[in-house]
Amino acid sequence: MTEATANTGAPQERRSRGLSEKGLAFWMVSPSMVLIALVAAYPIIYAIWLSLHEYSVRVAGLSRWAEPFGLGNYQAALQNADFWNAMVTTLIFTVASVFLELLIGLAMAMAMHAAFKGQGLLRTVVLVPWAVLTVVTAIMWRTIFESPQGFVNQIIGGDTVWLGSEPQALIVIIIADVWKTAPFMALLILAGLQVIPSDIYEAAKVDGATAWQRFRKITLPLLTPAILVALIFRTLDALRIFDLPYVLTKGANGTTTLSLIAQETFATNRIYGLGAAYSILTFITVMIVSFTYIWTVGGNIRGLAED
């Protein structure tokens, strides 16, 4: 610290000691780089290494190259029907939940943005579900959808076994996720709403635009970047869904997701190689989806920025 103060005070001195600006930057950044390497890079590389090796359950720690070419685990994973079922389930869950969250989140954000009495209270209330732990959320929704004495069946008077039927079980999981994360979406969109200058609306009003026209022609286009960021965050999160199905159904009735299958293989069955391969495949799926986002909508954003 003292050195840094001295240096800023006397650039001459620093140069004379042979530490260029670049060199200084290197030394300043290196502690955090080391930290990132330890906590992020090492586990990732280790996971990749694991996925290329074969582990015997019988003999602890034995590792040999997963034939052929170290890709045996990936081959086994891709040939497993359970993996593809989990992929489909995960994608359905992601598309449905993110879409609903976007709609509801947008509506919530508009409501929170409107100036009225009790606005502060509304903002707080809307955010409550987001603050509830996911596992708690799951247990709560399990109680609500319990059969036959659960709240939902009491109201609609049916005897549907929600968590024991397909596709109802997945629907419950989607509902629980939407309930919990729509407020997060709303929060991100609200931030976007607040940077739209109010004089644009005033000008539109003067020109005689209706409320719907103002929403379609002003709010939505100017909100696109915020919405895209929110969408990407939520999509990446949704593709990794684990806790809701784990607590609600343990993967029964068509609710096994990619993360569930990876966890079961790796942690419960201790087939480390295959489990790691599932994790990496999940990671690749997430990556493909996110880069598709960038390619398809990235141009949009640039266009907007240039306007």
**Which residues sit at the interface with another protein, rule CB under 8 A?**
39-40, 42-44, 46-47, 50, 55-63, 146-149, 159, 161, 163-166, 225, 228-229, 232-233, 236, 240, 249-253, 259, 262-264, 266-272, 275-276, 279, 282-283, 286-287, 290, 293-294, 298, 301-302, 304-305
Q: Which residues does 132 contact at the CB level (< 8 Å), separation at least 6?
A: 140, 180
Any bridge partners for residue 63, and if so which?
55
Decide whether 4 or 44 has the Cβ nearer to another protein: 44
Q: In the bound complex, what is the minimum distance in angstroms from residue 198's beta carbon to another protein?
A: 22
> Judging by beta carbons within 10 Å of its beta carbon (0-12, 13-18, 19+), is residue 242 exposed, middle or buried?
middle
Decide whether 146 or 214 has the Cβ nearer to another protein: 146
Q: In the bound complex, what is the minimum distance in angstroms from residue 121's beta carbon to another protein?
A: 31
What ranges in 81-133 are assigned the alpha helix state H? 81-113, 119-131
Decide whether 102 or 260 has the Cβ nearer to another protein: 260
Decide whether 77 or 126 has the Cβ nearer to another protein: 77
Q: In the bound complex, what is the minimum distance in angstroms from residue 288's beta carbon to another protein?
A: 11
Decide whether 14 or 257 has the Cβ nearer to another protein: 257
Q: Are 54 and 135 in contact (CB under 8 A)?
A: no
In the block, residue with structure tokens 């042979």: 18
Q: In the bound complex, what is the minimum distance in angstroms from residue 283's beta carbon to another protein?
A: 6
- For residue 43 the two structure tokens come to 């586990």
Q: In the bound complex, what is the minimum distance in angstroms from residue 63's beta carbon to another protein?
A: 7
User: What phi and psi, each to the nearest 5 degrees, are found at residue 65?
Assistant: -55, 130
Decide whether 4 or 195 has the Cβ nearer to another protein: 195
Sign of the dihedral through C-alpha 222, 228, 229, 231: positive
Q: In the bound complex, what is the minimum distance in angstroms from residue 285's beta carbon to another protein?
A: 11
Q: How far is it, in rounded angstroms, from Cα 189 to Cα 193?
A: 6
Decide whether 91 or 301 has the Cβ nearer to another protein: 301
Any bridge partners for residue 54, and if so which?
64
Decide whether 7 or 165 has the Cβ nearer to another protein: 165
Q: Are 55 and 63 in contact (CB under 8 A)?
A: yes
Decide whether 219 or 249 has the Cβ nearer to another protein: 249
Q: In the bound complex, what is the minimum distance in angstroms from residue 256's beta carbon to another protein?
A: 9
Q: Work out the angle between the directed axes of helices 220-239 and 168-194 (0-180°, nearest 10).
A: 140
Q: In the bound complex, what is the minimum distance in angstroms from residue 236's beta carbon to another protein?
A: 5
Q: Which residues does 268 contact at the CB level (< 8 Å), separation at least 6?
A: none
Q: Which residues does 15 contact at the CB level (< 8 Å), separation at least 6?
A: none
Q: How far is it, in rounded angstroms, from Cα 228 to Cα 188?
A: 10
Q: In the bound complex, what is the minimum distance in angstroms from residue 69's beta carbon to another protein?
A: 20
Strands (E) across the chain are located at 53-55, 63-65
User: What phi and psi, each to the nearest 5 degrees, are found at residue 287?
Assistant: -65, -45
